[in-house]
Amino acid sequence: MFALKRRRASRLRASDMVEPDDKFVLPRPLRRMTRFLLCLCTGRIHFPAYTGLVSAVALFGATGFYGMHLGGHAQAVAQATTSAAGFAIEDVKIAGNEQTSDIDILQEIGLDGTTSLVALDVETARDQIAKMPWVEHVTVRKVYPRTIEVNLKERKAFGIWQHGTDLSLIEKSGSVIAPLRDNKFAGLPLFVGRDAEAAAAKFYERFSQWPEIQKRVKAYVRIAARRWDLVMDNGVTVKLPEHDLERAMEVLSTMEEGQQLLERDIAAVDLRLEDRTTIQLTAEAAARRQTLLEARNKQLIKLEKQESAL
């Protein structure tokens, strides 16, 4: 009962406290600002020396940087400033490049002799180098105060792909690396025809079982995206079947070992049919054969006439 009475009395006393109606109270957000202004006007707040000068310089500097940003000159100013401070790039170390020239890499980075290491955008430089034909992977690293390190991993050329009249270097995956520009890749196998680049690596790996014949192949020609023809170094064409490559190559190997078939005056060997092997003579050989046959026939006719006369 005592506690209840005391609480009630406290409520009454609080309700009796009423502020006078004629007192003006500022809103809470303005009170702190008003107190600060009053203290400033009465001299209760003191600023350090040169505060005004520093503030003016900061204001003009911020305005200048904002203007450079809007005008697109911030990068140039930063580069010129940091270069003058001793951060101009003087050395570029490039590793892992065999087909990609140093000059081309420097051009992609955009170095002009005054480029600042601080202002250089490493991500942009990496992206530009990665677009080069031979580059598979690249890292670009800053080494302060004046050096850039570029490490490349280049793509490996597996063969040459002829499509139409164009020659391109390809990887094992069939991806085109770059157009063929010189003869230093002349030792790579040549694959000809549509879809040849995609099927080249798998077929070449299977064909390696017959190295004596493989080393004499001048070109692998893809026919109708289904099978292959071999063009030998002496111009002979070997027509392989779509399936059962092993059977056809065993036949060819046996005929080559026993009869030196590929050294003969022939134009083509057709191994597409399982039950027969067709050999096509060259035009000159066919003409010589025809001449021999005609001479043989004449000789036979002459002998028959002589026998009939007796």
Asked if residue 82 has pLDDT above 50, the reply is no
Q: How many CA atoms within 13 Å lie on the side-chain side of 100?
A: 27
283-300 confidence digits (pLDDT tens): 675 566 566 666 677 677
Tell me which CATH homologous superfamily contains domain 84-154: membrane protein fhac (3.10.20.310)
Q: Are 104 and 154 in contact (CB under 8 A)?
A: no
**pLDDT at residue 139, as a whole number:** 95
Please state whether the predicted TM-score (pTM) of the whole model is above 0.75.
no
Asked if residue 66 has pLDDT above 80, the reply is no
CA dist 79 to 105, 109, 116, 118, 121, Å?
Answer: 20, 14, 5, 7, 11
Q: What are phi and psi of 225, to 5 degrees?
A: 55, 25
* Domain parsing of the chain, residue ranges: 84-154, 157-282
**pLDDT at residue 8, as a whole number:** 47
Q: Where are the alpha helices (DSSP H) in the chain?
A: 2-16, 28-41, 51-71, 74-82, 102-109, 122-130, 196-207, 211-214, 245-259, 283-309
Tell how far CA 18 is from the center of its chain: 82
Q: Which two tokens stand for residue 242?
A: 């779509």
- CATH architecture group of domain 157-282: 3-Layer(aba) Sandwich (3.40)
DSSP secondary structure code for residue 101 in this structure: -
**pLDDT at residue 154, as a whole number:** 96
CA-closest candidate to residue 169, choices 151, 152, 186, 153: 186
Amino acid at the residue 241: P
**Whole-number mean pLDDT of the chain?**
79
29-63 confidence digits (pLDDT tens): 677 777 766 676 776 666 665 566 666 656 656 66
Asked if residue 169 has pLDDT above 70, the reply is yes
**pLDDT at residue 69, as a whole number:** 53
Lowest mean pLDDT among 70-84, 132-146, 173-187: 70-84
**pLDDT at residue 86, as a whole number:** 45
**pLDDT at residue 91, as a whole number:** 87
Question: What mean pLDDT comes out for the span 233-252?
Answer: 94
Rounded to whole angstroms, the Cα distance separating 266 from 283 reads 9
Asked if residue 215 has pLDDT above 60, the reply is yes
Q: Strand 176-179 vs strand 190-192: parallel, antiparallel, or unpaired? A: unpaired
Q: What is the largest CA-CA distance in the chain?
A: 168
User: What does the buried/exposed string (b/e) look like for 168-207 if buried means 16 or more CB atoms within 10 Å of the residue's CB?
Assistant: bbbbeebeebeebeeeeeeeebbbbbeebbbbbbebbeeb
263-273 confidence digits (pLDDT tens): 888 999 999 99
Question: What mean pLDDT comes out for the span 86-101?
Answer: 84
Helix, coil or strand: residue 285: helix
CA-closest candidate to residue 158, choices 177, 142, 141, 143: 177
Residues 6+ apart with CB under 8 A from 47: none
Asked if residue 85 has pLDDT above 60, the reply is no
Lowest mean pLDDT among 77-81, 162-166, 188-192, 262-266: 77-81
- Provide the 10 A C-beta neighbour count for residue 45: 11
Asked if residue 175 has pLDDT above 60, the reply is yes
CA-closest candidate to residue 211, choices 243, 191, 189, 242: 189
Q: What are phi and psi of 184, to 5 degrees?
A: -70, -15
Tell how far CA 148 is from the center of its chain: 22
Q: Are 137 and 165 in contact (CB under 8 A)?
A: no
Identify which has the larger pLDDT, 114 or 124. 124
**pLDDT at residue 14, as a whole number:** 44
7-17 confidence digits (pLDDT tens): 444 444 444 44
Asked if residue 21 has pLDDT above 80, the reply is no
Question: What mean pLDDT comes out for the span 99-117?
Answer: 84
